[in-house]
Structure 1
Amino acid sequence: MSGKRSKKKFRIIMSVVLSTLLLIGVAGNVALAYYSDVITAFFNEIDIESPEAIEAREHSQVIAEQISDEGIVLLQNDEDLLPLSTDGNRVNVFGWSFTDPVYGGTGSGRVNADTAITPRDGFANAGFEINEQLYEDYVSLGMERPLIDMDGQDWSITEPIAADFYTAERMQQATEFSDTAVIFIARSGGEGADLPRVMDGPDTFDPQGSAFGATGSRYGHEDDLDPNKHYLQLTNREQDMVDIVTEHFEDVVLVVNSSNTFELSWVDDYNEIKSVISIGGPGQSGFNSLGKILAGEVNPSGRTVDIYTRNLLDAPAITNFGDFNYILENEDGSYEQAFDQAGVPLKYVDYTEGIYVGYRYYETAAEEGIIDYYNEVQFPFGYGLSFTTFEQEVVDGSLSWDDTEISFDVTVTNTGDVAGKEVVQVYYSAPYTGNIERSARDLAAFAKTDMLEPGASETITISYQVEDMAVYDYDRVYSNDGAYVLEEGEYGVYLMQNSHEVIEEVDSRDLSQVVFDSGRSTDEQAPVNQFDEYVMGEGSIATYLSRENGFENFDQLVNHEEFTVTNEDGEVQVLRGRIIDPSFVDVINTARYNLPEDTQSDAPTTDADNGLTLTDFTDVDYDDPMWEDLLDQMSVNDLVNLTTLGGYRTYEIESVGKPATVDYDGPSGITAYISNSPVSGIAFPAGVVLASTWNIELAERMGEAVGAEGVAYGTTGWYAPGANIHRTAFSGRNFEYYSEDPLISGKMAAGTVSGYESQGGFVYMKHFALNDQEENRTNAVLTWSNEQVMRDIYLKPFEIAVKEGGASGMMSGFNSIGTVWAGANPSLLQEVLRNEWGFRGTVITDMYIGDFYPYMVYEKAIRNGNDMMLTGVAPMGVPEADTSSNDNLWAMRDASHNILYTVANSRSVDDDLSTEMPTWVVITIIVDILLILAIAAGFYFTFRKKKNNNEVTAA
């Protein structure tokens, strides 16, 4: 009997093994089928060393260095310490990060900086001799830069313990080497987490982590853990290092390698720190630029794009930035966290600061007399120093101000001793009536001069539309349904050094009230309130910051309390949030998961034989009836594949002759972050560095350069640029966004977009919209704002990029706007984006992995203006489309129209279809055949009948 049991057990085990192999084979082939065109593109031999690729990279590197030349900001230069002499000059560089700096950010916006110019290279190339012994002493510590990635963050600041490292002997060697010291401090950030506002907490960091990377968080070394400090301040170790360095050196330069605004109020305590330079994430060759600026070979011309306050935690937005939870109160008085029907925790964030983001608050508060400006602000928005001096003046008689446009000329003269570039900044002030919120200063226009030799002048024409000073009347004070409005009163126009220092008042005039109830000149449809349904009522914000009576409601901005809850595992937590009625959970579930009944009685025509191909549709108007005949040719499977299989490509559709395209991340240059393809472009400086150039022409050149790399690599779509707002200094992705100001953000995005698309590619701007923090973004965080704030601050960069840059694509955010996921919000994607702004192109989701993000419902997306899913890991990352619904089919058809229109107007339209069977497919087929034969043989030998069963039994 034991032999029979053994035989039976053997057969069971073998059955499980063989069945598992069969399932793996089937699943693997399903996955390969889902991603066949992308895999083909990646397995095709891309000659990254072709003459075209080499030329494109070399050109990109030149442009990247030009950006860092102009985007590095000189914040302080007491006693004209800079530039340093390079005539045999030696320099000590303190700070471990000098040996392992931050080139950009992490996550999908990261680019490969393995071949980048190091800080050491940059100093040497500029003619400096660094203290090699000090450098090697840092290297010998064996430290590594802590990992900050999407799935785990080690926020430890790498720096040795000062008492152990900065010994008397080492400092004596340094002072004997040189009397000049540079302190190098770096901070990183990236996708998936915002920067800590408290540098203390439990160590949950697991370096092994998940499939994508580490998990959990770590906040520092034991001696650095400090609940009174945040990530953008000096750590205790760094503070000790600064103390020791300034005790030994009278001439100290501070270099801040951070794309997030670093808190620098402590610099005022050290007379020895005479110069401060902010370099952001300088990219591939930016450390060459740092060396050149220190040596005076390049004259810094960068200007801040975020205000530098003395306490970053004083900004109004900080009050409601972070992790906030909806709470349910039980009958017994206990509390529990609220979840939607799919188990997604209900999180929210309130934009209670309203329009008063960044400099808009501090300039307005100063005008209202409630703050002493320079007690609160260290460096204004738009601030930056030069090695020379400039004079700016408005040309007499050049002003033209009519009902449509304001225009005047500004002459800029280099009055100093060295060549340099200057930024011209124009701001306006508008009347505050109490009806609509207005800040005291708004950036109206800007420009940058060419290189001016000493004594040389350049005259620049500044112009902008009068309607650009209008704001949105969401509260319907002047309109029935909302409109852009110029309120009656005095408007002033100022030529300014930065957001606070006035050079000259250009003019001021009393304007009559104008309500743009038919829309502004750039609108294709009159803007009206579109978001009331989602952002009003339960769950919304009670109070927005108001300028009335000197911001008297500032203390009312806190919309949350702390609640003690017990989760399903019995773990007790203290959560910040607010109580909601259980019925509000039903509202959210309805918004996220419920589909209305079909309205279409008939399905669209499919599988027609009209003989058309996509090459016939280049430059064919979007609304041309010819498109209907082309769309009729698509099958139902074509509609499904084109709209569901959008991860890093667009799908090949043979029925209409549409070739596949390959699309890549990210905002600092082409990167194959997910695919691990050998293709990786030049690492451009972070978006904040590009913005700090205040040079739109450089943004266009960057776009052109990335586009040329795309041509060389066979890449058409680009998941960039990022145009969200620096709502606070702590957003993890500030590096890949431009600024706290929507105008400079929009202008830089528009320049980059137009440059890239001039090379025949298309962009997907991200993340549309109000996706301005990383915390809880993948939990569909409910973002609460009002329509004035949304339109005047957070949507404006995207609007400028569409209207002026011709943006052909958008990537919708993970977040929700009010109760509705941004990727399924018809007001955002249809009414505002397409109908008002005139957008013609493709909207893609952020990464779609259905099991992880169940609220990203395909049918909700496709019916409401989101054309394509950025599908992740197949087959888990591909939605199942319900093709029994006529409404779904018509929505897929509309979405396909958008995608086809985008591709038809790109260089890819002339690409050949992939008719030949790729090598990897042939290999896969051979492997499949061998696997099937092996499995069949396994089943045969496992279950065949023996002639002599007793032999088996007796064995």
Structure 2
Amino acid sequence: MDDVIATIRSVQPQLIVVIAALLVALVATIAVNRTTVADQGTRKLTHATVWVVAVTAVIVAVNLMLTGPLSSMITMATGTRYELSQKTIETTNDLAVDIEREGITLLQNNDNMLPLADTDAINVFGWASTNPVYGGTGSGALSDAYDTTSLLDGLHMSGFKTNDRLTDFYTDYATTRGDDTITSTDWTLPEPPASDYSDDLISDAQDFSDTAMVVISRVGGEGSDLPDDMNATDHTFDDDSNNPKAATYTDNSTEYKDFPEGSHYLELSQSERDMIDLVTAHFDDVVLAYNGANTFELGFVEQYPQIKSVLWAPHPGQAGFAALGEVLRGTTNPSGKTADTFVRDLTQTPSYENFGDFPYDNVSEFTVDTTRGKRTPAFVNYVEGIYVGYRFYETAAEEGAIDYNATVQYPFGYGLSYTTFNQNMGEVTYDEETGTIGFDVTVTNTGEVTGKDVIEAYVNPPYTDGDIEKASANLVAFEKTDEIKPGASQTVHIEFDDDDMASYDYRDAKAYVLEGGDYGVSIRSDSHSVIDEQTVVVPQTIVYDSENNTHDGDQTVATNVFDEAAGDVTYLSRANRFANYDQATAAPTDFSMSDDAKATFVNLSNSDPSQSDNPDDQMPTTNADNGLRLVDLRGVDYDDKQWDLLLDQLNFDEMDDLIADAGYQNAAIRSIGKIRLSDVDGPAALKDNFTGVSSIGLPANIVVACTWNKNLARAYGETIGDMAHEINVSGWYAPSVNIHRSAFGGRNFEYFSEDPLLTGELAAEQVVGAKSRGVYSFTKHFALNEQETRRNSQLCTWANEQSIREIYLKPFETIVKASGDAQALMGSFNYIGSIYSSAHSGLNETVLRDEWGFKGFLETDYFSGALYGYQDADQLIRNGTDAMLASTETTNHIDSKSATSLIAMRRAAHNILYTTVNSWRYENGEPEQSMPVWQIVLVGADATLGVLLAGLEILAVRRFMKRRQAAIR
């Protein structure tokens, strides 16, 4: 809807001209008709001329619309439609099943109920069994152009028979769960009331099989976070449709509410609980399958001894459900590990009270009145600091601040197998000269089934009470074994650098610090269960604060950039056994923006980029005749002087078009042989929003994270790259690497994990895989975009520098340093502190380019400046952003032609061109480019209409003259 409204706004001037021209012509016609004119010839000539002029004005206005604001959109919509080959379809589907095979996670298996090797028939209960979740909504939605393997199909493929009467019972009840879009979500769970199950249906099920399977699913998607209160009343702060509203859903019975007061979406509904009561009353062997990306309150399974096995089967894409049948049958041994911590009560997590909707109450000067209503700035406080997910639970348990078993049900990194493994940790070595820490782990299959295991290495750093915040468990490395046969072993080498154990001290050193002392290096079966541990002694404290001693290979010293973003928030501290927990994690009570924040807050109401003009800037060269073509610079170093010569050839309009019209493409520049390239949505597929062409949807990134398998992640990126070649795509809007700060995050399906290392390592493999095929990836959303609520309503995100660097930026840093040059990033909608992320020079220049050495281009998230009220292209390019993800004309063009603006435009053009020329489209020389078909048709239509209108006017004049001559005679 945002793009529809933006499109209408962009052509508003031309529409006004069209309406005005028609109204004037109509009024003139009526006026002439009402005027007594004895000469009918004059009246007819006046009529004809008025309408010829009016139609000419309409044609000119329409031409201005088509060749101006709508040009990019029409070019994309009328582009050639490409299709995947059958071979690629089959290969991709095979990979999807491989990923789901290793992503399905066995959480419980009492009495070794699974695998069901001797059972051929299963009663599958739960409405979700007939309508499971395959992927998320919004940009993560899957295409309906390809066949989809249903959950029941997946069971049938492994030889299981399912109860058709149950299936019919559910499909007769409902076939859809509700309308899910970016701006609206129906959270209805159409689970039939237990009273609807007839005695005959249950009796028939008992006759069909002794085994029952219950399926519970939850959906999530772009634009909405999952409701943490299913009975919340509608908010009244403003009428912006992207702000949270009451959780819309329909109860399944008039006898009870599906979600009683105080209920949230990630617990059982009353209908689901009643159904489970019914199933467990009639079946002693029950397996529960949870099909959702967000961690769920699964504590209820302990109340039912009949539920012997629990499987987590997140979004499988279009083919992945084949793996579920294999896991149940035992032809696949599950090897998935949780990518998040499953807690018993999600309302007691550190972030719970500080995730959601918190509008400021004193920002009338920044409240913007847009087409979609008022946009009131809001805020979110990342009060937990570095203690995200397992980092909090493990540290709090060590400090005695929580009862771990009463709090955590399934730890991070947890997952069972049909076999057993023994991991033997070799001697840990520390080479102080190179900073390398390494050791071997020998994994032996001590069971009776072939399987894979995951080696998880953690570091427990020395901690001084009240000093630099440190978690007691920090994932530092991981590897997945190959398949190991019973009795066989595999030795895997684990290696990492000592600066991977450093912490960021934002208060005193204002740098990364590796404190001297004893570091516990352990291997664990999950974040809580230590298999073995050894000590690495760091003899003295190392502060990474000089150009000869930077952290993790940074090109410049990492020092404080985000002091302002900390705000006035009280952050959770480990000091005195988390003594400030209640204070730090309490819900906000102060809804006023501080004066300091107001001083740096910028939106369209007060934006004036010219204030940052540097009077010493010299106007750069434009329109030079240096004879270079873009293809000449393929493979040429980013800093080579030839780039200056090429950039000298560009003019203002060419650079402006390249920067402004980067939504789902990047524009052509004919003078240098730059063709239009197609950049499309992800993250689980390639989706062209204009031609409608899409690739097959792979499993969501939460599944990739649960595999803990770098090889599969690499294959994921390679397959995306292969499909990109076949559908003529150059850029992929993925991977998405924001952190699972809260279980209620709407886009947790497309993000990987609560852990930055697991996220960064796997996402980097995807990026490198795509790059090997010449496809550049837009890693997103840069940065701190962990919630959908008010995401594009001027959301101020407050976090301290340590958490920003150690948690939220770490995946981006890992990817940039692993993938090398010529890639891309996508910004986020939110503000960091009081500065819009895409206008944050500290983030986009100091950190991204200066520290990490990023050479590529940075694009905004969807650009709709006038609609959102805060995006200004001139401001953004001056602060490190290069391209506007705009498909219509709004505030995405550069108004200023000052030297400062042109220098920024030149830098942005350099970054965009450097990435695009190194894509696969230029690997065989300069691609051919021709005028889009619609433009050829437009020229023909204009010429035809011009001739026709001229002919009509000539005809009218001739008839007028003929009548005049006849009257004279």
Alignment of 1:714-733 (within 5 A): 714-733=728-747
Residue number in structure 1 paired with 2:518: 490
How far apart are residue 529 of structure 1 and its match?
A: 0.6
The 3-state SS of whatever aligns with 1:735 is coil
The amino acid across from 2:184 in the alignment is G
CA distance in 1, matches of 2:820, 2:931: 37
Cross-structure match for 2:341: 307
CA contact (8 A) 1:200 1:227 kept: yes
Please tell me whether the aligned partners of residues 108 and 191 of structure 1 are also in contact (alpha carbons under 8 angstroms). Answer: yes
User: Would you say 1:75 and 2:107 are equivalent positions?
Assistant: yes
Cα displacement (A) at 1:287: 0.7
CA offset digits 1:446-468 (Å, max 9, x no partner): 00000111111100000000010
Q: 1:359 aligns with which of 390, 415, 423?
A: 390
Question: How far is the alpha carbon of 1:916 from its aligned partner?
Answer: 3.1
CA distance in 1, matches of 2:233, 2:958: 59
* Cα 1:286/1:13, change in 2 over 3 Å: farther
Out of 916, 919, 922, the residue aligned to residue 933 of structure 2 is: 919
Consecutive unaligned residues in structure 2, runs of 5 or more: 1-27, 36-42, 964-969
Paired position in structure 2 for 1:530: 561
Which amino acid in the other structure matches residue 576 of structure 2? Answer: N
Is 1:26 matched up with 2:61? yes
Name whichever of 727-736 and 400-409 sits farther off: 400-409
Q: How many residues align?
A: 906
Q: Select between 313-322 and 940-949 the one with higher mean Cα deviation.
A: 940-949
Pairs within 5 Å for 1:424-439 = 424-433=455-464, 434-439=466-471
Letter in 2 for 1:801: I
Distance 1:244-1:338 versus aligned 2 partners, 3 A rule: farther
Q: Distance in 2 between matches of 1:266 and 1:942?
A: 84
Check if 1:472 corresponds to 2:504.
yes
Change (3 A) 1:631 1:132: same
Query: Aligned in 2, Cα 1:47/1:948: closer, same or farther, shift over 3 Å?
Result: closer
The answer to whether residue 265 in structure 2 is matched with residue 231 in structure 1 is yes
Aligned equivalent of 1:687: 701
Match of 2:303 among 269, 274, 296: 269
**Distance in 2 between the 1:487 and 1:213 partners?**
44
Say if 1:463 and 1:159 are closer, same or farther in 2 by CA, change over 3 A.
Answer: same
**Distance verdict in 2 for CA 1:558–1:547, change over 3 Å:** closer
Alpha-carbon contact 1:667-1:720 (below 8 Å) kept: yes
**Could you tell me how far apart the structure 1 residues matched to 2:482 and 2:535 are?**
26
* Alignment partners' CA distance in 1, 2:429 and 2:780: 38
Distance in 1 separating the partners of 2:780 and 2:588: 32
Q: 2:780 maps to what in 1?
A: 766
CA contact (8 A) 2:29 2:47 kept: no
**Matched residue SS, 1:241:** helix
Give the match for residue 883 of structure 2: 868
- 1:633 aligned residue (636, 649, 652): 649
TM-score, with length taken from structure 2: 0.88
2:261 partner SS = coil
- The answer to which of 102-111 and 790-799 deviates more is 102-111
1:219-239, Cα deviation, whole Å (9 max, x unpaired): 342632433211111111111
Pairs within 5 Å for 1:171-186: 171-186=202-217
Matched, 1:753 2:767: yes
- Report the Cα distance in structure 2 between the residues aligned to 1:306 and 1:228, rounded to whole angstroms: 24
SS at match of 2:631: helix
Deviations 1:727-777 (A, max 9, x none): 010010000000000000000111000000000111110000001100111
1:130 pairs with one of 145, 148, 162 = 162
What's the offset of the Cα at 1:428?
A: 0.7
Name the aligned partner's letter for residue 194 of structure 1.
D
For the 8 Å contact 1:328–1:582, the answer to whether it is kept is: no
Aligned pair in 2 of structure 1 residues 402, 174: CA closer, same or farther (>3 Å)?
Answer: same
Q: Which amino acid aligns with 1:91?
A: I
Q: In 2, are the aligned partners of 1:716 and 1:908 still within 8 Å (CA)?
A: yes
- Whichever residue aligns with residue 188 of structure 2, its letter is S
Distance 1:410 1:602, change over 3 A: same
| 1:404-447 deviation line (CA, Å, top 9, x unaligned) | 01100000011111100000001010111121100110001100
How far apart, in 2, do the equivalents of 1:199 and 1:618 lie?
54
Q: Is the 8 A contact 2:230 2:247 kept in 1?
A: no
The amino acid across from 1:320 in the alignment is N
Deviations along 1:22-73, one digit per CA (max 9) or x if unpaired, are 5586346534555656644653444415xxx332232222211111110110
> How big is the alpha-carbon RMSD for the aligned residues of Structure 1 and Structure 2?
3.1
Q: Secondary structure at the match of 1:557?
A: helix
User: CA 1:402 to 1:947, structure 2 compared with 1: closer, same or farther past 3 Å?
Assistant: closer
State which of 574, 577, 582 in structure 2 corresponds to 1:547: 574
| Alignment of 1:7 onto 2:50 | no
Q: Who is 2:432 aligned against?
A: 402
Query: For the structure 1 residues 99 and 22, does the alpha-carbon distance in structure 2 shift closer, same or farther, using more than 3 Å as the test?
Result: farther
Q: Percent identity?
A: 41
Give, as a single letter, the amino acid of the residue that structure 2 aligns with 1:490.
D
- 1:603 touches 1:886 (CA, 8 Å); kept in 2? yes
Matches within 5 A, 1:758-797: 758-797=772-811
Partner in structure 1 of residue 673 of structure 2: 657
Counting only pairs closer than 5 Å after superposition, residues 862-901 of structure 1 correspond to structure 2 as: 862-872=877-887, 874-876=888-890, 879-901=892-914
8 Å CA contact retained: 1:185, 1:256: yes
In structure 2, distance between residues paired with 1:892 and 1:448: 45
Pairing of 1:150-229 with structure 2 (within 5 A): 150-164=182-196, 166-201=197-232, 218-221=248-251, 223-229=257-263
Shift of 1:939: 8.9
Provide the residue aligned with 1:907 in structure 2: 920
CA distance in 2, matches of 1:870, 1:6: 49
Q: 1:177 to 1:889 in 2, by over 3 A?
A: same
Are 1:609 and 2:636 counterparts? no
Give the aligned residue type for 1:888. S
2:840 to 810, 822, 825: 825
- Equivalent residue letter for 2:535: D
- CA shift in 2, pair 1:17/1:905, >3 Å: same
Q: What corresponds to 2:13 in structure 1? A: none
Partner residue, 1:55: 87
Offset, 1:362: 0.5
TM score, norm. by length of structure 1: 0.90
Distance in 1 between residues matched to 2:353 and 2:629, nearest whole Å: 55
Q: Does the CA-based 8 Å contact 1:541-1:785 persist in structure 2? A: no
Q: Distance in 2 between matches of 1:38 and 1:618?
A: 28
What is the distance in 2 between the residues matched to 1:273 and 1:498?
Answer: 23
Post-superposition shift, 1:541?
3.0
Q: Partners of 1:174 and 1:436 in 2: how far apart?
A: 60
Change (3 A) 1:285 1:827: same
Shift of 1:630: 0.7
Could you say what secondary structure the match of 2:601 adopts?
helix
Check whether the contact 1:726–1:739 (CA below 8 A) recurs between aligned residues.
yes
1:438-587 equivalences in 2 (<5 Å) = 438-476=470-508, 479=509, 482-509=510-537, 511-518=539-546, 519-532=550-563, 534-535=564-565, 540-557=567-584, 578-580=591-593, 584-585=597-598, 587=600
Deviation larger for 647-656 or 682-691: 647-656
Distance change >3 Å, CA 119–CA 939, structure 1 → 2: farther
| Worse-matched range after superposition: 887-896 or 618-627 | 618-627
Q: Is the 8 A contact 2:569 2:798 kept in 1?
A: no
Q: Which residue in the other structure is 1:853 paired with?
A: 868
Structure 2 CA distance, aligned partners of 1:238 and 1:98?
A: 13
- Matched-pair contact (CA < 8 Å) for 1:845–1:866: yes
CA drift at 1:507: 2.8
Contact 1:615 1:904 (C-alpha < 8 Å) held by counterparts: yes
